[in-house]
């Protein structure tokens, strides 16, 4: 039995002071010993588990990934094609992979998605035994409501026992948190926790298809809790010539900056009609000669202001006659309207007008100095790319 410490000890280390959840003397210490073990440096050996689900692109599970892009960028096409290759056990873009079952969960354009998958199945001549499964019932991962456990239970029941689940895709992340904001760190932390629980249950990759802010192609939308937790982050951008570029923006245990291109073409399918198909243009590689200049580093508040400006322009932007400061054919909003948007979004406090003016002026001047926004006495706008 653990003895109580002397009353004059300023740092007692009994179970009673370590945890308020003790049910009996010594319970916490016993639980700690069960959960944690120590290994000497000399005894550490490399794991025999594979590092990659798709070599140099997708880490093996348990892992979490984010594939993001603007609407119509082609991110769903990319992800569906990539993980259909995993289910078929065929190299993806010349990359070796582990074959395994894939569960694709989506509520985005259900009928269109199903037609695309039929066309992909025919195009790749995927047989009836390919373990690629689709469901249009989206779990709620923005709260601790038991949906993660329910999903694990369902998949263990429905997926044949001989099929190893290698990847589970959630398309889109926003659909997994109805009525909640992906900008809320607490909500995003709960999403990450639910994904990790599912990934650990199946030792698989969990991928979230996500949106980028309207103002930026290089990052995913919402709280950076997701970026910090992700093992891999892939951006998808539609280029001016119509091709699409996928790029490894972040990879915890691999090379960042790998980029590959694909295009979306239409093909006549007897059952699906005219259906878009994905065609790979190049395999993943570095392209140093096409690297753009490094963008200025932005603070979280600066990112947020630019996002609010982009939404304001989308809602009320108008084209005004070009001047020495306002470019041709650029949509603008008035300064007054933009300040109202900042108030409505809680960026500034309308009850403190002096503080509000100072904060707005500070960030507008900072972003204008970085040439990330344009401004004059009347208007504010986003420069053309």
Q: How far is Cα 36 from Cα 41, in angstroms, rounded to an integer?
A: 16
pLDDT attached to residue 15: 42
In this structure, the number of other CB atoms found within 10 A of the CB of residue 23 comes to 6
The CA angle 121-127-129, to the nearest 5 degrees, is 120
Query: Before 172, cis peptide (omega within 30)?
Result: yes
pLDDT attached to residue 178: 93
- Give residue for tokens 């070599």: 55
pLDDT attached to residue 329: 82
CATH number of 52-290: 3.40.50.300
Q: Would you state the structure tokens that stand for residue 76, as one six-digit string? A: 């769903």
- Per-block mean pLDDT, blocks of 10 residues, the chain (385 long): 48 43 54 74 83 96 96 94 97 96 91 88 90 96 96 96 96 94 92 98 97 78 90 94 93 93 78 71 78 66 88 90 81 91 86 84 86 88 80
Contact (CB, 8 A) for 126 and 152: no
265: Cα separation from own chain's centroid: 26
Buried b (16+ CB within 10 A) or exposed e, 151-188: bbeebeeebeeeeebbbbbbbbbbbbbeebebebeebb
pLDDT attached to residue 18: 42
Show Cβ contacts of residue 173 under 8 Å, excluding neighbours closer than 6 positions. Answer: 66, 182, 191, 208, 209, 210, 211, 226
pLDDT attached to residue 372: 86
DSSP state of 382: P
Crossing angle for the helix pair 300-316 and 353-369, to the nearest 10 degrees: 90
Query: Before 62, cis peptide (omega within 30)?
Result: yes
In this structure, the number of other CB atoms found within 10 A of the CB of residue 233 comes to 22
Longest dimension (CA), the chain: 84
Phi-psi region of 7 (alpha: psi -120 to 50; beta: other; left: phi over 0): alpha
Of the candidates 235, 232, 255, the one whose C-alpha atom is nearest the C-alpha of residue 245 is 235
């Amino acid at each position: 039995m653990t003895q109580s410490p002397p009353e004059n000890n300023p740092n007692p280390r009994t179970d009673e002071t370590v945890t308020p959840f003790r049910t009996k003397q010594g319970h916490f210490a016993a639980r700690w010993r069960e959960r944690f073990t120590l290994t000497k440096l000399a005894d550490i050996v490399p794991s025999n588990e594979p590092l990659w689900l798709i070599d140099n692109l997708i880490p093996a599970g348990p892992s979490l990934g984010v594939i993001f892009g603007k609407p119509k960028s082609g991110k769903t096409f990319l992800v569906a094609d990539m993980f259909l290759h995993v289910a078929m056990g065929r190299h993806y873009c010349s990359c070796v992979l582990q074959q395994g079952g894939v569960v694709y969960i989506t509520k985005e354009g259900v009928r269109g998605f199903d037609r695309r998958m039929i066309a992909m199945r025919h195009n790749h001549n995927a047989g009836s035994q390919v373990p690629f499964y689709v469901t249009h019932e989206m779990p709620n991962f923005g709260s601790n409501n038991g949906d993660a456990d329910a999903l694990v239970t369902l998949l263990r029941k429905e997926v044949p026992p001989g099929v190893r689940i290698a990847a589970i895709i959630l398309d889109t992340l926003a659909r997994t948190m109805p009525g909640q904001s992906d900008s809320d760190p607490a909500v995003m932390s709960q999403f990450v926790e639910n994904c990790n629980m599912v990934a650990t249950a199946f030792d698989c990759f969990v991928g979230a298809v996500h949106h980028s802010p309207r103002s930026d192609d290089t990052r995913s939308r919402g709280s950076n809790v997701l970026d910090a937790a992700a093992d891999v982050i892939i951006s998808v951008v539609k280029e001016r010539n119509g091709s699409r570029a996928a790029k490894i923006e972040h990879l915890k245990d691999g090379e960042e900056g790998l980029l590959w291109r694909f295009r979306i073409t239409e093909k006549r399918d007897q059952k699906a009609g005219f259906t878009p198909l994905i065609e790979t243009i190049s395999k993943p590689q570095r392209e140093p000669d096409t690297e753009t200049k490094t963008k200025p580093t932005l603070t979280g508040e600066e990112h947020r202001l630019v996002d609010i400006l982009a939404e304001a322009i989308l809602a009320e932007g108008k084209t005004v006659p070009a001047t020495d400061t306002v470019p041709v054919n650029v949509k603008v909003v008035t300064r007054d309207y933009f300040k109202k948007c900042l108030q409505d979004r809680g960026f500034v406090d309308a009850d403190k007008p002096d503080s509000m003016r100072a904060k707005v002026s500070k960030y507008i001047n900072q972003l204008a100095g970085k040439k990330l926004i344009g401004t004059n006495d009347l208007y504010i706008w986003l420069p053309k790319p």
